[in-house]
Amino acid sequence: MKQKLLFLLFFPASFLLHSQSLTWKTNMNEAILKSDEERKPLLIFFTASGISQSIQNEVFATPDFVDWSNSVVLLKLDLSDSTITDTEKDQNLKLKEALGIEELPQVCLATASVRKNKPTINKLGLLDYKFGGAKKWISDAKKVIRGE
Largest distance between two CA atoms of the chain = 63
Report pLDDT digits (tens) over 55-66.
999 999 999 999
State how far the Cα of 107 lies from the Cα of 109, in Å rounded to an integer: 7
State how far the Cα of 40 lies from the Cα of 42, in Å rounded to an integer: 7
State how far the Cα of 108 lies from the Cα of 73, in Å rounded to an integer: 12
Return the pLDDT at 12.
Answer: 43
Return the pLDDT at 11.
Answer: 42
Cα-based distances in Å from 62 to 66, 67, 113, 139: 6, 9, 29, 14
Report pLDDT digits (tens) over 42-55.
999 999 998 888 89
Cα-based distances in Å from 109 to 10, 84, 95: 36, 23, 13
Q: Under a CB-based contact definition with an 8 Å cutoff, are residues 144 and 124 in contact?
A: yes
- Among candidate residues 40, 116, 103, 51, the one with its CA nearest the CA of residue 75: 40
Return the pLDDT at 121.
Answer: 93
